């Protein structure tokens, strides 16, 4: 099964014709539009997570479920402007949801997938 995923990843470019180029030696059929979109979405998720502060935000929200900006700022010990920028970027890319409660904005993960990915990647590497 892992070889199929690797073969599929090697054929990420959508095929516009039925013929293969001479450099293509894979026996895997070209990706469908849906498969191509799935790989692109996975790549976008990983790009969004590819920042140390964003990883810390994901892991913190995975434990706390929902936090306002001030609580996140105290927990992560980071400047409010930097934190707000990262939270907005993560929300805009669909990793977080935000709910305004009075003057506070509370953030939470849209689903557990980002935290599960980070936990798998960090397993055994973080004390």
User: pLDDT by residue (tens digit) across 26-74?
Assistant: 566 788 888 888 888 888 888 888 899 999 999 899 888 899 999 999 9
Does residue 75 share a domain with residue 44? no
72/105 same-domain check:
yes
Can you point out the beta strands (E) in the chain? 66-68, 96-101, 104-109
Whether the CB-CB separation of 74 and 83 falls below 8 Å is answered with no
Q: Give domain status of residue 99, yes or no.
A: yes
Give the pLDDT band of residue 4 (cuts 50, 70, 90).
very low
Q: How many domains does the chain have?
A: 2
Residue 92 in this model has a pLDDT that exceeds 70: yes
pLDDT higher than 50, residue 1: no
The boundaries of the domain holding residue 85 are 51-122
What is the structure's pLDDT at 16? 45
> Based on the domain organization, do 62 and 114 belong to the same domain?
yes
Claim to verify: residue 65 and residue 7 sit in the same structural domain: no
Q: Which candidate, 42, 106, 33, places its Cα nearest to that of 70?
A: 106
Percent above pLDDT 90 for the chain: 38
Whether the per-residue pLDDT at 100 is higher than 70: the answer is yes
Tell me which of 20-34, 71-85, 113-127 is least confident. 20-34
């Amino acid at each position: 099964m892992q070889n199929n995923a690797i073969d599929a990843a090697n054929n990420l470019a959508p095929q516009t014709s039925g013929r293969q180029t001479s450099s293509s030696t894979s026996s895997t059929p070209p990706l469908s539009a849906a498969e191509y979109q799935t790989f692109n979405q996975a790549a976008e998720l990983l790009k969004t997570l590819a920042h140390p502060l964003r990883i810390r935000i994901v892991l913190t929200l995975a434990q706390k479920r929902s936090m306002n900006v001030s609580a996140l700022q105290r927990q992560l010990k980071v400047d409010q402007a930097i934190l707000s920028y990262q939270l907005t970027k993560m929300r805009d890319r669909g990793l977080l949801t935000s709910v305004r409660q009075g003057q506070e904005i509370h953030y939470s993960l849209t689903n557990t997938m980002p935290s599960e990915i980070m936990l798998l990647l960090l397993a055994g590497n973080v004390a």
